Amino acid sequence: MNLKQLEYFVHVAELGSFSKAALVLDVAQPALSRQVRALETDLRETLLLRNGRGVRLTEAGRRLFEHSVGILQMVSRAREDMGASRDEPVGRIVVGLPPSMGRQLTLPLIDGFRQQLPRARLAIVEGLSAHITEWIVTGRVDLGLVHNPEAAPALEITPILDEALCLVQPASARRGRSRGGRAPLPLRELPGFPLIVPDRTHAIRRLLETQAMLAGLELDIAWEVASVPSIVDLVCAGYGYAVLSAGAVAASGRSGELAVRPLVEPQLSSVLCLATSAHRRPTPLARHASRLLRELVEALPMPRIAMPVRHS
């Protein structure tokens, strides 16, 4: 087993095809196949199942894939650490973004790298907060933005942005004005709204159900949909209501069709945090990328939300 074989195997597994991996790696497909076959022979395991549409991982292949990604990441970081001068950000970094932030931050993040970090290479992956934290712990991702992360010894967490959670509804319905206008909504009234929510791995779903349980409320879950853009589409189409941050609504590109009502009594908020590994020394590139990411988040235009005035 050698690093080249692991690199070839990871590319084939990620792309699901020997021909695509050969193009990306700029190697002949027969040579690529020989290297992967040699790896299988050495390990005495079948790692990939070939079919007419490409390849898929076996159970042994999935286990080796997780090890290989971590090994290649560590080798990359070692090269960067040895080759970087005192504080020169060079090498490759993988940044994880939640879907609600991916559309807003991908372009400015790439622009920032081109202007400020020209010798660095950037890879961006999207995933739910639970997945991003797992990828950081296993070394697949170097740093990422996550919503409401749970405390973990393996993670270094820095809060960046506190966003109020809102009931999201159509701005106006064909059969009349939207329900309740834009007034703040007490949490105790939320069970009266049929909700479209993501699955329980989503940070906002967990936060919402925890608060409802503490208040003794039973929510009306009408539909479970994993994709936030799809949830927004369903709300616009009148299939129900959603609980999201105003920033997620703005990122959907359909904010003009929606109204948001902040949840109050108690006020609920989603905290966006920058997460890195607590067990790996940050490289110059990681420090620069973290600073750039924080600056971009803080510069995002945040929608104004009407909140109740508190009188003393």
Q: Give kind and range of the element (H or E) at residue 198.
A: none
CATH class, range 1-80 = mainly alpha
| 266, two tokens | 């108690």
pLDDT at residue 157, rounded to an integer: 93
Q: Report whether 182 contacts 254 (CB < 8 A).
A: no
Per-residue pLDDT band at 139 (split at 50, 70, 90) = confident
Q: Give kind and range of the element (H or E) at residue 153.
A: none
Q: How far apart are the first and last CA of the chain?
A: 71
How do the domains of the chain map onto residue ranges? 1-80, 162-270
Q: Where are the beta strands (DSSP E) in 101-211?
A: 120-126, 143-147, 155-170, 172-173, 176-177, 185-186, 195-197
The set of residues, in sequence order, having a beta carbon less than 8 Å from that of 224 and lying 6+ positions away, is: 196, 197, 198, 199
Cis amide prior to 266 (ω within 30 degrees): yes
Among all chains, which residue has been given the structure tokens 């020209």?
Answer: 118
CATH of 162-270, one of 3.40.190.290, 3.40.640.10, 3.40.47.10, 3.30.450.20: 3.40.190.290
Amino acid at 305: I
pLDDT digits (tens, 9 = 90+) for 207-256: 888 888 888 988 888 998 888 888 889 999 889 999 988 778 877 777 78
